[in-house]
Amino acid sequence: MKADLNVIGGRAYIDGSLVDCGISIEGGRIRAIGKEANLPPSDERVSAEGLLILPGLIDAHVHLRDMALSYKEDFHSGTASAICGGFTTVLDMPNTVPPTDSPSRLLEKMEAARGKILSNVGFHGMMTSDLDDLRGMAELGIFSLKIFMDRCDWPGEVLERVLSACRDLSLPATFHAERAPRDLGRGAKLGGDMGDFLRAHDPRLEISAVEEVIDLVGRTGVRGHICHISLPESVDRLRSSPIGRAITCEATPHHLLLSREAYAKLGGLAMTVPPLRSPEDARGLREELLRCRIDIVASDHAPHSNEEKLRGSIWEVPPGIPGLETTFPLLFTLVAKGDLPLRKVVDSLSSKPAKLFGINGRGEIREGFAADLILVDPRSEYILDSSKFRSKAKYSPFDGWRVKGRVVETIVNGEVVMDRGEIIGKPGIGALLRPSR
Ligand code: DOR
Ligand code: ZN
Ligand code: ZN
């Protein structure tokens, strides 16, 4: 029987190494992997001559916004940004307006996304102390319950009760592990510069939040994941505790590659929380990634409008950096320079997030798995330019960086959705995902 599509002539990333082979796709899945002569015939072919065939990337931390925040990003623009950046699956964060904090709001979000998405999308749920809402969201299929420790004012026993309920539901808890910013008093509020922003987000606020996560996980037995870890010292606290070793964590490209020195030049455009730290911290994080003490890389794609990011008062600039279209080329450039092995980059952006969050049947090139693939030109060099982003957020602290490695084609559920920067997929081609636990 004929296959729907054969991808041939490239080198595919299979079980950690690059293999000369072709891939046959049928019914949205990988039907066969092998030499072209051994593949089932197909009328449709994609040539991957000179290209790498990698598993479609998975970003476990994305703010797709939509609804009342559609002016920042919506399901269509956010997933267009994803497929241009090589991400075939993204997990959406719940701090939207309205927040994803009940079954009805989750259903509302799923409905809003259904006909618009170009990549696969799953949802995280927003912290709620209503255990019926929590159970309802878990049943509908959220990938985690997100705890924003910077804005959680529940008494300790409430947080423990919620996390114990997550444990009983086999639902992971993801933590924004930073305590509420320090109050610098009236003077700083009226004026305020980047120094004040950094003082308000003292590193100790992250380290003590990480310690609290270790404590909470120890007491409740919930599966814990720490988002956007920004200090090697936080990683150290985590990995030097027996309970902490079972907690997974992620790092973003901006915390891995930028430091607070970027604020002098970029001001609000580089503002994010947790903030950019010292150059030594960024270097330390890259080492932790290399040593496997950081589990995955996630973009924390957090789009805002340019007007918002360019506001005069730092307290009025919303923190967040769009990252879907820069994450892969930035990391692949480290591979090209010999700073990171290809395996580390690909696994941290595909098979590992799939395993951590229970995204079954995706994240690897394997027979029977979903046909989510990207073709990458490893020799293409270019300059990052946010004015060309598909995201509505047309700014980036990485503007002007020379990178190597271009995603030239993206295949989602067996369909070519992006070809050389052009979006050819139909909205709705992405699947709404539920975890398998
Ligand atoms: O920089 C950030 N932006 N950090 C967060 O925790 C939230 C995010 C956003 O939603 O914009
Ligand atoms: Zn966060
Ligand atoms: Zn975030």
Active-site annotation holder among 59, 101, 196, 300: 300
Is residue 41 located within the same domain as residue 180?
no
The β-bridge partners of 5 are 25
Is residue 187 located within the same domain as residue 335?
yes
Is residue 268 located within the same domain as residue 166?
yes
Among 205, 300, 314, residue to substitute to test ligand 1 (most atoms within 8 Å of Cβ): 300
Helix (H) or strand (E) holding 58: strand 57-62
Nearest atom in ligand 1 to the alpha carbon of residue 95 is: 10
Helix (H) or strand (E) holding 23: strand 17-26
HEC string of 219-254 equals: HHCCCEEECCCCCHHHHHHHHCCCCHHHCEEEECHH
Residue-by-residue DSSP string for 363-429: SS--TTSB--EEEEEEEEEEE--GGG-SSS----TTTT-EEEEEEEEEEETTEEEEETTEE-SPTT-
Full pLDDT tens readout for the chain, 437 residues:
899 999 999 999 999 999 999 999 999 999 999 999 999 999 999 999 999 999 999 999 999 999 999 999 999 999 999 999 999 999 999 999 999 999 999 999 999 999 999 999 999 999 999 999 999 999 999 999 999 999 999 999 999 999 999 999 999 999 999 999 998 887 777 778 999 999 999 999 999 999 999 999 999 999 999 999 999 999 999 999 999 999 999 999 999 999 999 999 999 999 999 999 999 999 999 999 999 999 999 999 999 999 999 999 999 999 999 999 999 999 999 999 999 999 999 999 999 999 999 999 999 999 999 999 999 999 999 999 999 999 999 999 999 999 999 999 999 999 999 999 999 999 999 999 999 87
Is residue 102 located within the same domain as residue 212?
yes
What angle do the packed helices 203-220 and 156-168 form, to 10 degrees? 50
Q: Whose CA is nearest to atom 2 of ligand 1?
A: 320
Question: Can you tell me the distance from the alpha carbon of 220 to that of 142, in angstroms, rounded to the nearest whole number?
Answer: 20
In a domain, 396, yes or no: no
Q: Could you say which ligand is closest to the alpha carbon of residue 321? A: 1
The domain boundary, picked from 336, 359, 382, lies at: 359
Give the domain CATH number at 251: 3.20.20.140
Catalytic, 300? Answer yes
Is residue 221 located within the same domain as residue 276?
yes
Contacts of 64 (CB under 8 A, 6+ apart): 73, 74, 75, 78, 79, 90, 92, 93, 113, 121, 301
Contact 342, 362 (CB under 8 A): no
Is residue 229 located within the same domain as residue 312?
yes
Which residues does a 6 A CB cutoff place in the pocket of ligand 1? 63, 95, 176, 272-273, 302, 318-320
How many angstroms separate the alpha carbon of residue 373 from the centre of ligand 3?
25
In a domain, 234, yes or no: yes
- The per-type count for the chain, helices as H runs and strands as E runs, is 15, 18
Give the domain CATH number at 41: 2.30.40.10
Contact 112, 64 (CB under 8 A): no
The range of the structural domain enclosing residue 31 comes to 3-47
Report residue 113 as tokens: 């996304």
In a domain, 430, yes or no: no
In a domain, 312, yes or no: yes
Is residue 192 located within the same domain as residue 85?
yes
Q: Whose CA is nearest to atom 3 of ligand 1?
A: 320
In a domain, 137, yes or no: yes
In a domain, 388, yes or no: no
Range list of β-strands (E), 290-338? 296-297
The domain boundary, picked from 344, 359, 374, lies at: 359
Is residue 120 located within the same domain as residue 145?
yes
Q: What is the pLDDT of residue 437?
A: 75
Q: What is the pLDDT of residue 93?
A: 99
Is residue 12 located within the same domain as residue 102?
no
The domain boundary, picked from 359, 379, 411, lies at: 359
Is residue 129 located within the same domain as residue 93?
yes
In a domain, 267, yes or no: yes
Q: What is the pLDDT of residue 1?
A: 87
Query: How many Å separate Cα 75 from the centre of its chain?
Result: 15
How many angstroms separate the alpha carbon of residue 294 from the centre of ligand 3?
17
Helix (H) or strand (E) holding 24: strand 17-26
Is residue 104 located within the same domain as residue 147?
yes
Question: Can you tell me the distance from the alpha carbon of 206 to that of 276, in angstroms, rounded to the nearest whole number?
Answer: 12
Q: What is the pLDDT of residue 187?
A: 73
* DSSP state, residue 67: G
In a domain, 435, yes or no: no
When computed from its CA atoms, the radius of gyration of the chain, rounded to whole angstroms, is 21
Give SS3 for 61: strand
b/e per residue 354-377 (b: at least 16 CB within 10 A): bbbbbbeebbbbbeebbbbbbbbb
Question: Can you tell me the distance from the alpha carbon of 83 to that of 88, in angstroms, rounded to the nearest whole number?
Answer: 6
Is residue 39 located within the same domain as residue 107?
no
How many structural domains is the chain composed of? 2
Question: Can you tell me the distance from the alpha carbon of 330 to that of 362, in angstroms, rounded to the nearest whole number?
Answer: 23
